[in-house]
Structure 1
């Protein structure tokens, strides 16, 4: 399912950007429930009336923060693999860019805030999925689709969207779980390389064709 973002940092007003920046600081530090409008307006350096003028509820402001974070992440990942042709290089580069984002302090803090509030605010959690992980799946699917056209991959057994989801989950699963359950620990470059290589090799063994394997022989 393709998500449509309503926040674009290059089109919103400077005051609105200040509000979102202040909200980002507070939400990531304190979570959704503990954050207050007073805290946000102080962090943003604006009046409370300015906050409400752009975002009438805390939920809408949180949505704006999530959209801004996810939009920046998707753009960053998209740019790194645009000019690569080798399939293994494309997958490895996508995985590394994605891992850098979701293992960053802000990425982990946002995920904790979302999951912590999901039972009380399921619409916010769903919104995060659509503009974040689902959009990442769509981006990966674009690269996979190109490789299926030239015969390097065959994802007909599961379909393009599911194949993309399988890859992003291979990249995210163990790495994210380790960092979420070991707060403060930072995985080494070697550990991240191992996670990435495992995800790429597993995916290629599942869906790589004889054409791809012959090209690497």
Structure 2
């Protein structure tokens, strides 16, 4: 439960946090369709009136869990990269490591599996998940890359939206797939993350970094 609590804003009321943690645990254990709002209220130890005072329904509850978790991840990324003093490769490596650790948390992988399983039956939920999660991540990264471009760390002709897409694709490689399919244990995931992050940053730099004669980083 502690990992789930870390993903939720501290300013929320204790009852609201308890509802979101209980709901997330139920969704991960039973899937979206099988979970009722009654079950969430019982697990959270709150009344149905309290539950509905915070969330209009199950879809809003699931969306809130994803929205708050991803917002926390982006806020921590903002803190991590608050200064433009980091060389581009270092900034990308640290960002990749931060995001991979978030995306590959057991809880986030479980919620991702739930969404993939339920997307066809609940298209509105799938759209909400995409908007709150992957799309918000892409927009944040595009804006950050535009800032790097303005500071001369990316070439002026870089299409920052396409560059952001590329970087996100580099993060969702073989390790991400195997972890999502539960084909790798937690120790191997953690051990592999620094190498995957560095490889993603190096590949991005080779494709979108400044020209070698003007860059801080030179390549063979």
Query: Considering the TM-score relative to the shorter chain, is it more than 0.5?
Result: yes
Q: Retained in 1: the 8 A contact 2:94–2:197?
A: no
Work out the number of aligned pairs and report it: 209
Q: Retained in 2: the 8 A contact 1:153–1:212?
A: no
Q: Does 106-115 or 12-21 show the bigger shift?
A: 12-21
How has the CA–CA distance of structure 1 residues 105 and 188 changed in structure 2, closer, same or farther, with 3 Å as cutoff?
closer
Matches of 1:119 and 1:183 in 2, distance apart?
Answer: 25
Partner of 1:31: 31
How has the CA–CA distance of structure 1 residues 123 and 212 changed in structure 2, closer, same or farther, with 3 Å as cutoff?
farther
RMSD of Structure 2 on Structure 1 (CA): 2.3
Q: Retained in 2: the 8 A contact 1:22–1:40?
A: yes
Question: Helix, strand or coil for the counterpart of 2:31?
Answer: helix
Q: Does 134-143 or 37-46 show the bigger shift?
A: 134-143
Partner of 1:126: 127
Q: Retained in 2: the 8 A contact 1:152–1:211?
A: no
Partner of 1:92: 93
How has the CA–CA distance of structure 1 residues 99 and 213 changed in structure 2, closer, same or farther, with 3 Å as cutoff?
farther
In structure 2, the gaps of 5 or more residues are 1-7
Q: Deviations over 1:14-62 (max 9, x none)?
A: 4333322221221222221121223211221112232233323211221
TM-score normalised according to structure 2 size: 0.84
Q: Retained in 2: the 8 A contact 1:25–1:43?
A: no
Q: Retained in 1: the 8 A contact 2:178–2:184?
A: no
In structure 1, the gaps of 5 or more residues are 1-7
Q: Retained in 2: the 8 A contact 1:28–1:109?
A: yes
TM-score normalised according to structure 1 size: 0.85
Q: Retained in 2: the 8 A contact 1:151–1:212?
A: no
Q: Retained in 1: the 8 A contact 2:70–2:133?
A: yes
